[in-house]
Amino acid sequence: MNTRLRLTALAAVFASLTATTTIMHAEVLAATEGSDVPQLPRKCIKPKERAPVPTNLFAPFACLEPVVNVSATLGNQAESFVVVNPTNTNNVVAFSNTNSASIFRAYSTDAGTTWTRGTVATGVACCDGQAVFDTFGNLFLVYLNNSVNQVNVILSTDGGVTFSAPVTAGTGPVDQPSIAVGNGSVWVDWNQGGSMVARGAPVTGLGVWGPFNAQQAIPSATGSFGGIAVGPGPNGGKVIVTYQSPTGGQGPATIYVNVDADGLGAGGFGPRITVTSTNVGGFDFIPAQMERSVDAEAGMVWDATGGPFNNRIYLVYTEEPVNESNDTEIYLRTSTDDGTTWTAPVRVNDDPLGPIRSQFLPYIALDPTTGIVAVGFHDCRNDDGVNGTNMIPNDDAEYYGTFTTDGGATWAPNRRLSGGFSNATASGNGIDYGDYVGLDALAGKLTHCGRTTRTAMARTRMARCTSLTCTRTHSRSRGELRRRHQRLQRRRLQPLHQRPQRPRLLRLHQRQRLRRGLFQHRGLTQRRRLGHNGKSPKKFLTREPARKNQAPCLGAWVARVRV
């Protein structure tokens, strides 16, 4: 039986990421599948999807609540983005790229329990959708059009149910737009012909915004793969953009920022400021994203909460301390003087330093109600070549998150926000994981929307857990599970007096795990009950009942985490 693997956008809610210097990242161009855009070379446009590779299944992790597939859509979804409405925290909206010329959109009005699915910019969008809510409840979505020559912005005032006609912010050879809001402003930046540009617009109420100011060239901003943030201050707040340069090759590269100190005022962006160097270039190939490669993916938030860390800028990025080692890390630096100077880096991921494991594609979010900052990222720490989807180390990723309450000095223990491993190569998705995974933080909760590699026969569900941690049963490979299952079967066929004697509690534990259907074989759940003559005495089935609503979860999800 053929096993088809897909990258699928999932969601879950928890209660408590060459030589030339003008390389672009656009992913999807339905009209030119498998071909190049003539203006500029890009990392990929719409590569033809590879044939999915059957891979060993892993034992799933157990979550405490039902798991729901947010996309429930055929084909691959990638570069997911999720936002929460500050005027109604039960309103969650998720976006992702699709295989068609549209942006996938799903919205929930019950905190992620149920979803209404569809597309926006239907038939006219390429990709690179990123979204943000402002304090009025305006939901802005920026994306590239189907011809990859326009940066468009659409607006929803009803929580993602409907969207306005597009407003074009930029034209020409464009790529990788990002969007941010301030106190009375919305800003968009993007790469245009190899350099960063930006535009801002005033926002005065629900559905009342614009027009965009004149497009601003950013001094010496040759580069790409960055983002934008809005901080405190008049005229809608101060604005900062970040990017890396050069954009080609596997590194090293430099991460820069430029600041517009008067926001929507007449002044423009100031000179380029060097933040840090990094050994992660624009096309750094690692085992977990070997076809597409990764970049440093620098991202920022600017605290405008009025709290103890007001006016602090946080910048997260990917570093490779030993160049070309594939041992990438997630670092964070902060600035308290409008980006003029930056602190020494703080390591965000907390896995041991010894093994070579990749962390990549970080994304940062700031909770405007608490000032808590959260970071999420893909993480290969648990793929040692035994656990995972195959026998290859460091090529299967999970999704992890953490947060800081002291301005970035220290970070909470990293928590896994996905339900299992994903393998980008095996999925057959032309762009692997893509370039980003958007998070949102609001009212003490972190919401994450991710993708998972799954089989067509195995359900992918949305998980809601009652805390940041999710119960991990085990993570043996499919081969290990099959061999163990065969040993147990052979023992079952032996006469009772010839069976190896083991402690009773261990036999009970094995029975309980098998009874819950946690062993996977040929893509199907094997439910075996061991006991005398193949029967399980009732006492073994009732000594340790399964936790209510406990269900196996086979991948990543949106994780809403109380921080």
Question: Distances in Å between the alpha carbon of 206 and those of 87, 184, 200, 563?
Answer: 11, 11, 17, 29
Domain assignment of residue 483, yes or no: no
Domain assignment of residue 154, yes or no: yes
Mean pLDDT of 141-158: 97
How many CB atoms neighbour CB 406 within 10 A?
A: 11
User: Are 127 and 43 a contacting pair, CB within 8 Å?
Assistant: no
Instruction: Report pLDDT digits (tens) over 350-404.
Output: 999 989 999 999 999 999 999 999 999 999 999 999 988 899 999 999 999 999 9
What DSSP designation does 49 have?
P
Domain assignment of residue 116, yes or no: yes
Chain centroid to CA 41: 25
Question: Which pLDDT score is estimated for 67?
Answer: 55
Instruction: Report pLDDT digits (tens) over 322-344.
Output: 999 999 999 999 999 999 999 99
Q: From start to end of 109-184, where are the E strands?
A: 116-120, 125-133, 139-145, 150-156, 167-171, 174-182
User: Are 113 and 91 a contacting pair, CB within 8 Å?
Assistant: no
Domain assignment of residue 525, yes or no: no
What DSSP designation does 547 have?
P
The alpha carbon torsion through 498, 476, 523, 488 (nearest 10 deg) reads: 0
When divided into structural domains, the chain yields a total of 1
Question: Which pLDDT score is estimated for 550?
Answer: 33
Asked if residue 23 has pLDDT above 80, the reply is: no
Chain centroid to CA 221: 26
Asked if residue 247 has pLDDT above 50, the reply is: yes
SS3 track for 167-189: EEEEECCEEEEEEEEECCEEEEE
What is the β-pairing status of strands 116-120 and 284-286? unpaired
Q: b/e for 87-105, b at 16 or more Cβ within 10 A?
A: eebebbbbbbbbbbbbbbb
Question: Where does the pLDDT of residue 422 fall: very low under 50, low under 70, confident under 90, or very high at 90 and above?
Answer: confident
Structure tokens belonging to residue 20: 């030339």
14-28, 208-222, 472-486, range with greatest mean pLDDT: 208-222
The continuous run of DSSP H or E covering 104 comes out as: strand 103-108
User: Are 157 and 85 a contacting pair, CB within 8 Å?
Assistant: no
Output the pTM of the full model. 0.76
Kindly report the CA angle at 25 between 52 and 227, in degrees rounded to 5? Answer: 120
Domain assignment of residue 120, yes or no: yes
Instruction: Report pLDDT digits (tens) over 520-529.
Output: 333 333 333 3
Domain range for 298 = 5-17+20-475+555-562
Question: Distances in Å between the alpha carbon of 165 and those of 97, 156, 201, 381, 483?
Answer: 19, 10, 16, 44, 57
Q: Please report, for the domain that includes residue 27, its CATH number.
A: 2.120.10.10
Rounded to whole angstroms, the Cα distance separating 274 from 277 reads 8
Domain assignment of residue 218, yes or no: yes
Instruction: Report pLDDT digits (tens) over 99-148.
Output: 889 999 999 999 998 999 999 999 999 999 999 999 999 999 999 999 99
Q: Express the helix, strand and coil content of the chain in percent, nearest 5 each.
A: 10, 40, 55
**Mean of per-residue pLDDT scores for the chain:** 77
Question: Which pLDDT score is estimated for 70?
Answer: 87
